[in-house]
Structure 1
Amino acid sequence: MFAISLGDDKAELRPLEVWQDEEFLAHMDRARELVDPWIPFASFATDRESARALLRRYAEKQAADTGRLYGIWLEGTLVGGVLFRIFDTASGNCEIGVWLEPAAQGRGLITRAAERLIDWAVYERGMHRVEWDASAANTRSIAVAKRLGMTSSTRAWSRHAESTHLTPRGRPTGDDGNGQTGPKARNPGFLPCPGRASDAS
């Protein structure tokens, strides 16, 4: 299994693929109450057929290098996810989206997973701007955006890269806080990627 550890609590970031449609639907059913008020993501997966169609759509995005979808597993259970809704290599801009089911809140899972995606987009793919779209009423989402070092312009939060590198939390570019330099020193592992054309959406 292609997976990246998100910490010592058995949380993992993995590609979310078409064959996982049943697991994804069960997760969406648990997350629906929390997700639906803010984004229509869960409403696109109401049965196995629609769940599979959503996963396939992101598989096609990954194949075209225009988006990606990853799940967050906690102790073997799918509890949330992160994605690139937009991934535009020509402009150097991308938009990250996130969601979580209620039982997994309060553990920092979204922050940790989003950090992985942002680092990969900037350090590996040379993105210059990462956007985060959040309603002004969605205080949890805004809090995560702030923790990720994003700044606000109306409801669009963003982080800019300087010379294709970010400076997270005020550290010098590539400094992991312990004197090590380079993006992989600060964030080893990056994203699980079993070939660019095999994601799930």
Structure 2
Amino acid sequence: MFAKSLGEDGAELRPLEPWQAEELLAHMDRGREFVGQFIKFPDRATDLESSRSLLQSYAEKAATDTGRIYGIWTDGTLVGGVLFRTMDVAMGVAEVGCWLEPSAAGKGLVTRAARMIIDWAVEERGIHRIEWVVASENAASIAVARRLGMTKDGVLRESYLHRGKRHDLEIWSVLAPEWRAARQPS
């Protein structure tokens, strides 16, 4: 297994795998309502079996090169993560997603982790378009998209039903040439 440093604060990015289902469940239990405000992810990991199943689905995506999931750890504790919810290498398109428990919010962890996996997708896998799909009310996630240099492509009005409420979804993206240009030292 590998661990990539996310900076001087000791945070690390590592793959999340099925054998870590218990750790994922404990993490979700700490932040379920916060994480679940806008995404269904915590509703898919409600007990050990469903947590393992969720991680197994991403192990299968990794095996078929259609997605990946990574955890963010601080001081040895899983506090959030980033993922490629979808990844179509032939088309050169991938959707990045994220989540954090409340104790980890506001520290730049998601931005740093997303940069790392986007760099990998663009440079190693040849992905041309990285997408970020976010509920319009999710100001924190929109701020990450902006920090990543993404452009707002549009809004899908009331297209996302979550916990009984319809949400507008914003589509943000960055293209590989834009990503590379922004990563060059000035």
TM-score (norm 2): 0.89
Alignment of 1:85-124 (within 5 A): 85-124=85-124
Distance 1:10 1:86 in 2: 29
Task: Say whether 1:156 aligns with 2:182.
Answer: no
Q: Retained in 1: the 8 A contact 2:129–2:173?
A: yes
Alignment of 1:1-201 (within 5 A): 1-153=1-153, 154=155, 155-162=170-177, 166-168=180-182, 175-177=184-186
Distance 1:79 1:18 in 2: 17
1:197 maps to what in 2? none
Unmatched runs of 5 consecutive residues or more in structure 2? 156-169
Q: Retained in 1: the 8 A contact 2:15–2:69?
A: yes
Q: Which has the higher contact order (CA 8 A, sep 6+)?
A: 1
How far off is 1:33 after superposition? 1.1
Aligned residue for 2:97, secondary structure, equals strand
Q: Retained in 2: the 8 A contact 1:123–1:165?
A: no
- Higher strand proportion, which one? 2
Distance 2:104 2:36 in 1: 16
Aligned residue pairs, count? 171
Q: Retained in 2: the 8 A contact 1:83–1:98?
A: yes
TM-score (norm 1): 0.82
Equivalent AA in structure 2 for residue 160 of structure 1: L
Write the deviation string for residues 6-31 of structure 1: whole angstroms up to 9, x where unpaired: 00111000010110110010001112
How far off is 1:176 after superposition? 3.9
Distance 2:146 2:180 in 1: 15
Distance 1:119 1:63 in 2: 20
Distance 1:124 1:83 in 2: 16
Unmatched runs of 5 consecutive residues or more in structure 1? 178-201
- 34-43 or 92-101: which moved more? 34-43
Identity %: 61
Equivalent AA in structure 1 for residue 48 of structure 2: R
Give the superposed CA RMSD: 1.3
